[in-house]
Amino acid sequence: MSRLILFPVPIGADDADISLPPYNREMLNTCHTFIVEDIRTARRNLKRMGYTHPIDDTTFLELNKHSDPEEVSHYLDTLDDNHPIGLMSEAGLPCVADPGNLITDMAQRRGIEIVPLVGPSSILLALMASGFNGQNFAFVGYLPIDAKQRQARLRTLEQRAHREEQTQIFIETPYRNNQLLAYLASHLQADTRLCVACDLTLPTQFIRTLDARQWLDNPPDLSKRCCVFLLYK
């Protein structure tokens, strides 16, 4: 049966043994066609994930914000019983916090079997260690940049954290992390708890939960580091 296989990519650790099961490598070498966001990083990632098939005999199909949906719709045409296609993210789980679902949605509508493989999710690693509710949680992507919209959005998230007991998780462009932390520390309610999870799976990893205001004292330098922010009551 024809299959679309979803390959997670290490998020920080260069060592795939920290974040990928051995089975993933086995599956990787059954695919000679990959749908990827960027061909250069995909080649590098395949290498560190243990791909041994000749790279010059490997087909790459690009799927990113510049892709033409009409063209993308033909990506799955070459898929047959002997030729599964792989979908790779830039980092972490494909189709989580990235727009890969354009292709999985097409595959579902065509009745193609989709095989998701296990791998690292910075969102869930952060949630696990935050101390927050893992029986009810939401990942909401990025907060709005506009000041008024950002404030309104934060109110909604805080209400859901307090009233619905739903942990709220979001991210920021890495070079704006410090500004976001300062904003959260001063704009959240004093009784809201804020967790910052940074450099997950790397030796510099830290995951710390404090009352919102406590982050005002000696804030860590988060600039250009991959971070996840979580809030709860």
Q: Which residues bind its own copies (CB under 8 A)?
A: 6, 15-23, 93-101, 104-109, 114-116, 118-121, 124-141, 166, 195, 200-201, 205, 207-209
C-alpha–C-alpha distance, residues 184 and 225, integer Å: 17
Question: For residues 205 and 199, is the Cβ–Cβ distance under 8 A?
Answer: yes
Residue 126 C-beta: closest distance to its own copies, Å: 8
Integer Rg of the chain from CA: 20
As given in the structure block, the two tokens for residue 64 are 């990113």
* Least Cβ distance, residue 148 to its own copies (angstroms): 18
- Closest separation between CB of residue 78 and its own copies, Å? 19
Min CB(41)–its own copies separation in Å = 19
Q: Which is nearer to its own copies, 120 or 181 (CB)?
A: 120
Q: Is the Cβ of residue 67 or residue 209 nearer to its own copies in the bound state?
A: 209
Give all strands (DSSP E) within the chain, no chain letters.
3-7, 33-36, 59-62, 85-88, 113-116, 137-142, 167-171, 193-198, 206-211, 227-232
* Minimum CB distance to its own copies smaller for 40 or for 203: 203
Q: Which is nearer to its own copies, 17 or 191 (CB)?
A: 17
Cβ–Cβ under 8 Å, residues 40 and 152: no
Of the two residues 16 and 61, which places its CB atom closer to its own copies in the complex?
16
CB of 15 to its own copies, least distance (A): 8
Quote the tokens at residue 75: 């990506």
End-to-end CA distance of the chain: 48
